Chains A and B, each alone.
Chain A
Amino acid sequence: MKDKKSEKNKSVNQNTRDVFLENEVRSNNVVMVGMIIAVIGILIICLAVKVGFYNPTKFIMGDYMIWHIIILLGPVVLNLYFKGRKPWLKYLLIFSFIVILAQLDYSMTYAAPLLIAIPVVLSSKYFSYKFTGFIIVTSVIIFFISSMLGVTGGHLDVNLVWLPKGTVLNVDGFIVGALQNVDYDTGLLRYNALIYRFIPKLIMYAPIAVACLSIAYTGHMMVLKQASLTEESVKMSTELALASAIQESVIPDQKHILTGCSEIVVDARVVPAKEVGGDFYDFFMVDKDHIAFVMADVSGKGVPASLYMMMARSTIHDLALSGLTPKEVMEEANRRLCGNGLNDTFVTTWFGLLDLTTGVIRAVNAGHMKPVVKNPGGKYELLNDKSGFVLGGLPEITYDEYEIRLEPGSNILLYTDGVTETENPVHDQFGVDGLLRSLRCHKDADLDTLLECVYKNLQDFAGTAPQFDDITMLFVRYLGKN
């Protein structure tokens, strides 16, 4: 038990790791695209400086252009080479991006206040709140350094320059140009940059950082939840496949049951609407002269119906083998099924006991579809039998037993409402008439061909409409005693 739990946890962890790895690869690519855009941006700025369109007092970037491009494009090339699948790539990509953005911040100073937010926003895509937290702290430290160095090294912010009373500026164009020949206190300038530029920048940065941290955390938790749901879904599919196999295993083995029985030929088709269904058929020798047939349809669908089906099948099967009459079998089965405490589940059932020597069937119909019978030389007709209440509905119900005699060469078809209630896209039903028409077209065919033809006609009728109910058909041909 413990081992199984441990296996499951391992599996969930593996799934989670796979999802995070896939996300990391995609995020690396997103950062890579951001870096390529940054390279283009830097090239445009440098070009603008070169042609004089943009003219900062100091612009260090242009002097080291080649290094900036190497710092940016190096990780891009590595990311492409390793296809984003190395754990250190995200650190390399984001860190080099921070360095270049800090360099831009150093050069452009007040002109680009939100550069600091770019790495943090990108880091949230990794859905790792620890990584985003690390990037938040790293960005603040590096941008603090770049801001402080940029005060004197980058584009001068004239608003931060303190001049003594009476200072005369000789302005000819931008004010910043007039300050080039003026002595001012750079220590005070750095202090002003901290108070009036870096701290307000941090105040802007804080809500963005918190939001990114929240996105990373939420994304992380969603991935964990999704992985868990996926695991549950896989487990459910496996269990459903197993349940389906168990259901198939109770389908009667024709060759085994009818060995030595030359009086009848049997063939069947089952097409469940879901992995497991509530329809079932059964046939088995009660004694050397009698064979029992059951065709049933449990209300509802899916796993609950399939579990009820297994219970109903074994109840009827066991009672029939105990030598009871069909009426007694059905009444006792009804009482037993009513005792299960289920309020809304029942099973419509047709139960018949065929005397192989005489061809007489003693049958009980508990709310099930009326059988279709064809006598030799005749045509397929609906057997207008008397139907009682469904099985498993109310415990006090009694059933009427009736008899039909099959002549040698007769066919009887038992089926569920999945056949007659097959719908086309405009909700018309195939109906009993459709079934009779289909059978009458191929009246002399063997049972397998007949079943195939009916199923083909059902498919043609349904067209694009989905199959809502299980489809089950059991054909019996009575050949008579030798």
Chain B
Amino acid sequence: MEEFNIQAAYANNTLDMIWEGRLRADNVSTVFDILKQYPDAINFIIDAKDLEYVASAGLGALLAVIKASREKSGEVTLKNVSKLVTELLELTGYDRMVKCE
């Protein structure tokens, strides 16, 4: 299994996460596990400084995050996104669905 780590901190309806490694189909369940742990989260902040690669299944996880925030009129913020991941977000139109910092 590809190495992917996720750290999460929850406060004031905001789920602050750090995504590290390579997010693929075989490890994407870790994201869904975190989402299940914090069903009341409205806003999501993802620090992607060490996120090396996102496969389509990883974008599926990001879509689930976007849907979870939109249901409650929240927002998703991505921080420190690498060039490779930025290109992927632009290509797939995700850059217009999340706030990139």
Residues of A within 8 A of B (CB): 278, 297-302, 343-346, 348, 366-370, 387-390, 393-394, 397, 417, 421, 427, 468-469
* B6 is an interface residue with CB less than 8 A from chain A: no
Residues from chain A with a CB closer than 8 A to the CB of B92 are 348, 367, 387, 389-390
In the complex formed, the residue of A with least CB distance to B96 is A389
Residues of B within 8 A of A (CB): 22, 24-25, 32, 52-53, 55-57, 59-61, 63-64, 66-67, 70, 90-94, 96-97
Residues from chain B with a CB closer than 8 A to the CB of A299 are 56-57, 59-60, 63
Residues from chain A with a CB closer than 8 A to the CB of B67 are 343, 394
Known: A301-B25, A394-B66. 10 other contacts (CB 8 A): A299-B63, A344-B32, A345-B60, A346-B59, A370-B91, A390-B59, A390-B63, A390-B93, A390-B94, A421-B55
Residues from chain A with a CB closer than 8 A to the CB of B66 are 393-394
Residues from chain B with a CB closer than 8 A to the CB of A397 are 93
Assembly CA distance A174 to B60 (angstroms):
86
- Give the one of B22, B55, B70, B94 with max A CB within 10 A: B55
Residues from chain B with a CB closer than 8 A to the CB of A344 are 32, 57, 60-61, 63-64
State whether A469 touches B55 (Cβ < 8 A).
Answer: yes
State whether B93 touches A343 (Cβ < 8 A).
Answer: no
Contact of B91 among A367, A393, A427 (CB under 8 A): A367
State whether B91 touches A300 (Cβ < 8 A).
Answer: no
State whether B57 touches A300 (Cβ < 8 A).
Answer: yes
Contact of B56 among A300, A366, A370, A427 (CB under 8 A): A300
Assembly CA distance A158 to B67 (angstroms):
88
Assembly CA distance A468 to B96 (angstroms):
28
Residues from chain B with a CB closer than 8 A to the CB of A427 are 22, 52-53
In the complex formed, the residue of B with least CB distance to A298 is B56
Assembly CA distance A417 to B56 (angstroms):
9
Given contacts A299-B56, A394-B97, contact A343 B64 (CB under 8 A): yes
Distance in Å from the Cβ of A430 to the closest Cβ of chain B?
Answer: 13
Residues from chain A with a CB closer than 8 A to the CB of B32 are 344
Residues from chain A with a CB closer than 8 A to the CB of B93 are 366-367, 387-390, 397
State whether B94 touches A389 (Cβ < 8 A).
Answer: yes
Assembly CA distance A390 to B94 (angstroms):
8
Residues from chain A with a CB closer than 8 A to the CB of B64 are 343-344
State whether B60 touches A346 (Cβ < 8 A).
Answer: yes
Distance in Å from the Cβ of B100 to the closest Cβ of chain A?
Answer: 15
Assembly CA distance A278 to B57 (angstroms):
11
Contact of B55 among A343, A367, A468 (CB under 8 A): A468
Distance in Å from the Cβ of B20 to the closest Cβ of chain A?
Answer: 15
Residues from chain B with a CB closer than 8 A to the CB of A389 are 92-94, 96-97
Given contacts A369-B91, A370-B91, A388-B93, contact A393 B63 (CB under 8 A): yes
Assembly CA distance A344 to B56 (angstroms):
10
Distance in Å from the Cβ of B10 to the closest Cβ of chain A?
Answer: 20
Q: Can you report 11 A-B residue pairs in the complex whose CB atoms are below 8 A from each other? A: A300-B57, A344-B64, A345-B60, A367-B92, A367-B93, A387-B90, A387-B91, A389-B92, A389-B93, A390-B92, A427-B52
